[in-house]
Structure 1
Amino acid sequence: MTNSSSASSARADSRAGMNSDSRAASCSAPRVEARSGVRLDPRAKLYLLLLANLLLFFHVDTRGEAIMVALFLLPLFTAGRWRNGLRLTVLYVALLGLGLWSDAATMGGSGGSGGSLIGVIGGATGSAAGPSGTAVAAGNVAVTAASATSVMATAGHVAGLLSVGIRMMMPCLITGAYAFTTTSISEFVCAMRRMRVPEAIVIPCMVVIRFFPTIAHDYRQIRNAMALRGIAAGRFALVRHPVQSLEFIIVPLLMNATFVSRDLSVAALTKGLGIAGEHTCMTTIRMHWFDWAYMAMCTAPLALAIGGVL
């Protein structure tokens, strides 16, 4: 009886020792983030974001911009972000089509007056000063046609201005959306430390990454509370009731943003991120061959476009 009890206790001790060893090994071993689909290294994502800003800085033509946007959209689909990728693709294609239409309308409506409102007013004044009633009537018909053409040209100017302005920012939005939706905070911090970035920059970037999802969550909670009370309910209620939106959404959101930023900063400092010295990361990242290949593939069109070859 004594031998059996001692044997069972020995087996229990051995199992406890094995469990403690496995827990210690799991705690001491670095953790590798599980990746869904093919995802680039965080440093490669930051490089794509740099290329997007260079694309905006050098103002590359439409052909090179379309090629670069297609290359920037591809990682979103390979990472499994199909909904975001389709939305951004449809938006860019719509902006591109609007820009082409505005170019066609501007070229078709440009004449002696240049397709501007000043030309419309000047043409109307000159035609109304005809010597006879027939000339005035014919002039009115001509002014109506010219006014319609000039208004179309003016609308083309405005549409082209808006489409080009938003379309030029699309590469930055695409690469930023891919970088921040497919990168965890631990991966981002590890990438920044691998690049020898000072902690004075790492901590604010970490706070900013955590800030926007928290604000989005607070916004949804405010909208749910408003819908529960019947205030500005509906999808387009914010457009129909702008004053209520300003009072019930923006004001508490801005007040809450101050507390959120303070709490996130305190949480980051509590975890020891502000302590001087070398820090270690439980998450390991590594550059693979497809990271380098994709960085080179995205750099080539930009270099050709800047050099005037593409």
Structure 2
Amino acid sequence: MTSSSSAFPDRSGVHTASNSARRLDPRAKLYLLLIANLLLFFHVDTRGEAIVVALLLLPLFVAGRWRAGLRLTIVYVLLLALGLWSDTVTMTGSGSGGGSLISAISSGGADAATAGSAAAPTTAFVTAGHVAGLLSVGIRMMMPCLISGAYAFTTTTISEFVCAMRRMRVPEAVVIPCMVVIRFFPTIVHDYRQIRNAMAMRGIAAGRFALVRHPVQSLEFILVPLLMNATIVSRDLSVAALTKGLGIAGEHTCMTTIRMRWFDWGYMAVCTVPLALAIGGVL
């Protein structure tokens, strides 16, 4: 009994140290999320945006989230390439489009009336470039928030998040709803997988693209149960949080230890510099 009890702290201590050495502090993760939102708010240049996105992707790979990091990197690179192709098409296409989608459409009507069907393929190509550029910019502006949010919520436990919020003197009225929201989405994902497994066992909308081929069955057998279960899950999570004493007034203790280290402050500064330069117009 003595040897087993003495070995338990050693294993837990090594596990905590190995995990914390590869991850940023939760407060640093929240700061990266703030930087991503500022990047969206100020709508900086493409060069500065690419540098900040690369810095936001790096912690995902360091934390061992290779699959998520590669997926987000590929999506961002494709959106960036689509935006550059759209700029090239709209600048070297018809020339008289004026640089906007509305003017491209109006010039397309004028060309079709005057030059016949010869200018129609060019105008349609330029219009497609404008539409692709709109979609690329719209989705790409949200990518920094998605990247930083994916890193923050996949590498932070509930206890670490609660400890960080209390270190920042956040009121308990804000901590409890945030904790419920963090636990809500993994529970909904788990329920979705259980529903999909039950449907596959019964041969209902089976296959990879079955949800697209059978939209009515998807609405009936997936969305309706998820929406009905969402209220129950949120209520149960709120009751579980209050049962653990999170709503009791007074000073709370936490078994999880978090600490801002030198690389947390350094990485926050490294991510802030290109954002500030991009906002100032230097990059």
Q: Structure 1 length normalisation: TM-score? A: 0.84
The counterpart of 1:292, out of the listed 265, 271, 283, is 265
Q: Could you tell me how far apart the structure 2 residues matched to 1:221 and 1:20 are?
A: 37
CA shift in 2, pair 1:20/1:222, >3 Å: closer
State whether residues 31 and 283 of structure 1, in contact with CA within 8 Å, keep that contact through their aligned partners in structure 2.
Answer: no
Q: Compute the RMSD of aligned alpha carbons.
A: 2.3
Give the structure 1 partner of residue 109 of structure 2.
121
- 1:30 Cα shift? 10
Q: Could you tell me how far apart the structure 2 residues matched to 1:20 and 1:307 are?
A: 59
The counterpart of 2:247, out of the listed 274, 298, 305, is 274
State whether residues 68 and 298 of structure 1, in contact with CA within 8 Å, keep that contact through their aligned partners in structure 2.
Answer: yes
Give the structure 2 partner of residue 70 of structure 1.
54
Pairwise mapping of residues 103-252 of structure 1 onto structure 2 (< 5 A)? Answer: 103-114=87-98, 116-127=104-115, 143-252=116-225
Give the structure 2 partner of residue 53 of structure 1.
37
Q: Could you tell me how far apart the structure 1 residues matched to 2:26 and 2:92 are?
A: 47
Q: Which stretch of structure 1 is more off in the superposition, 273-282 or 102-111?
A: 102-111
Q: Which stretch of structure 1 is more off in the superposition, 112-121 or 172-181?
A: 112-121
Opposite residue 118 of structure 1, the aligned amino acid is: S
Q: Could you tell me how far apart the structure 2 residues matched to 1:69 and 1:111 are?
A: 32
State whether residues 238 and 245 of structure 1, in contact with CA within 8 Å, keep that contact through their aligned partners in structure 2.
Answer: yes
Q: Could you tell me how far apart the structure 2 residues matched to 1:73 and 1:145 are?
A: 46
Opposite residue 154 of structure 1, the aligned amino acid is: T
State whether residues 31 and 284 of structure 1, in contact with CA within 8 Å, keep that contact through their aligned partners in structure 2.
Answer: no
SS in 2 for 1:112: coil
Q: Could you tell me how far apart the structure 1 residues matched to 2:109 and 2:80 are?
A: 31
CA shift in 2, pair 1:21/1:250, >3 Å: closer
Give the structure 2 partner of residue 83 of structure 1.
67
Identity %: 78
Larger radius of gyration: 1
Q: Structure 2 length normalisation: TM-score? A: 0.91
- 1:308 Cα shift? 1.2
SS in 1 for 2:117: helix
Pairwise mapping of residues 34-45 of structure 1 onto structure 2 (< 5 A)? Answer: 34-36=17-19, 38-45=22-29
Q: Deviations over 1:7-46 (max 9, x none)?
A: xxxxxxxxx7x689969x97xx999845436110000000
Q: Could you tell me how far apart the structure 1 residues matched to 2:131 and 2:106 are?
A: 15
Q: Which stretch of structure 1 is more off in the superposition, 100-109 or 111-120?
A: 111-120
Mind listing any 5+ residue stretches in structure 1 that lack a counterpart?
1-15, 128-142
- 1:238 Cα shift? 1.1
Q: Deviations over 1:223-247 (max 9, x none)?
A: 1111111111111111111121111
Q: Deviations over 1:108-136 (max 9, x none)?
A: 22333546233222322334xxxxxxxxx
State whether residues 42 and 187 of structure 1, in contact with CA within 8 Å, keep that contact through their aligned partners in structure 2.
Answer: yes
Q: Deviations over 1:174-194 (max 9, x none)?
A: 000000000000000000000
State whether residues 110 and 153 of structure 1, in contact with CA within 8 Å, keep that contact through their aligned partners in structure 2.
Answer: yes
Opposite residue 40 of structure 2, the aligned amino acid is: L
SS in 1 for 2:118: helix
Mind listing any 5+ residue stretches in structure 2 that lack a counterpart?
none
Q: Could you tell me how far apart the structure 2 residues matched to 1:72 and 1:63 are?
A: 14
State whether residues 30 and 283 of structure 1, in contact with CA within 8 Å, keep that contact through their aligned partners in structure 2.
Answer: no
CA shift in 2, pair 1:111/1:171, >3 Å: same
